[in-house]
Homo-oligomer: A and B are copies of this chain.
């Protein structure tokens, strides 16, 4: 038997079934007309932003990193909740434009921005988080050609990293951003060339559950930002402090202590008040805002026994939930939180392997999991499916196509 990850708080039982947004999963699946199905919970999105607002200083804005979940209904729901939006491609720019979000609230990071992407962003009035001297030069030239003043921030490759991070984005040689020691010269050049100077973006890593690690990184970010501002010779108009707030996925994971992060952030701001008085501050969060708000539902198509092991074969799989299968950025496969959604209140009494419908042994949703006894037709829920699920999985693999998506 292998343990399952922890089911996020805030999910209800109704008539023995998992309920999301006050509706039973069987009803949601019927409404969608098909499975597999991603369901995103507005109540979870609202609650998470509210918790954050309560914990962190009021002057720190919250940006939503669209890449975590670019579904149109999720973007629309986040629009009034958050302060800014971070995009990573011209495709995401189009999504933001379709959602009629004010471009002044949007910044664009990404190490390989093409000229046509820079042009679209500058035309729209989106801030570019420039990742290199070359990109800054191209942006300035495109601005000149368009007769439009580009809004430019610099993404910094810091010398430190977010400890305990699932994905380190700083510390040593990296394809992201400009090495810290070269930032002041580039900033002065951008300002001298007449661009609208938008400050710095310092991203140190993602997906950590340690409040201490986040506080240490934030302290380092503020120190570095203050030092760079002083070398540039003017206060930063804006500082994107990055994110890195993790969510529990795996057995033994404990939720991030948000109150500890918030309390430390109050102290850090007091400490840096002088340098940051005129600086607009924000956190950039993706997974932390939407990850636990999503549930992936798939249906048991077959139940079979092979050499004494029981398999629940579903119509879902890694083509929709690559990370849950253990094949994306993880070395050792561990179980996500998984449940028999149509028997959510039943006691576990059977050890099963939950697999997807693809012809590959990689397509696993839960290994040797103790679950209530399921039958063909039952729905399986994979939790923590709100971030990097539908859009970060190979939907066309084996011709199955994308899952349905719904917000409730």
A contact residues vs B (CB 8 Å cutoff): 66-67, 70, 87-92, 94-95, 109-114, 131-135, 157, 167-169, 172-176, 179, 301-304, 306-309, 311, 313-315, 317, 322, 327-329, 331, 353, 355-362, 376, 390-401
Question: Known contacts A132-B302, A355-B111, A359-B110; is A400 also within 8 Å of B91 by CB?
Answer: yes
Majority DSSP secondary structure for residues of A touching B: loop
Instruction: Say yes or no: A394-B91 contact (C-beta < 8 A), given A173-B306, A306-B173.
Output: no
CB-contact partner of A357 in B111, B362, B376, under 8 A: B111
CB pair B179 A306 closer than 8 Å: yes
Report Cα–Cα, A89/B174, bound state, in Å. Answer: 40
What separation, in Å, do the CA atoms of A391 and B394 have in the docked complex? 7
Q: 8 tightest A-B contacts by CB?
A: A112-B357, A91-B399, A173-B309, A92-B399, A173-B307, A89-B399, A132-B304, A112-B301
Closest approach, in angstroms, between the C-beta of A169 and any C-beta of chain B? Answer: 6
Please determine whether B328 and A331 come into contact, CB atoms closer than 8 angstroms: no
The answer to whether A172 and B67 touch across the interface, beta carbons within 8 angstroms, is: no
Known A-B contacts A179-B307, A394-B391; the reply to A114 vs B315 at CB < 8 A is yes
Given the complex of chains A and B, what is the CA–CA distance between A67 and B399 in angstroms?
A: 8
**Smallest distance from the beta carbon of A183 to chain B beta carbons, Å?**
12
Residues of B near A89 (CB, < 8 A) are 357, 398-400
Residue of A133, A174, A376, A399 contacting most chain B CB atoms (<10 Å): A399
Q: Which residue of B lies closest to A308 (CB)?
A: B173
A329 CA / B311 CA spacing, docked (Å): 21
- A328 to B311 Cα, complex, angstroms: 23
Q: Can you show 30 pairs from A to B with CB atoms below 8 A apart? A: A66-B399, A67-B398, A67-B399, A70-B396, A87-B399, A88-B358, A89-B398, A90-B399, A91-B400, A92-B398, A94-B399, A110-B358, A111-B355, A111-B357, A111-B359, A112-B355, A112-B357, A114-B301, A131-B302, A134-B304, A135-B302, A172-B306, A172-B307, A173-B306, A175-B353, A176-B361, A179-B306, A179-B307, A329-B360, A391-B397
Given A179-B306, A394-B393: A362 in contact with B92 (beta carbons within 8 A): no
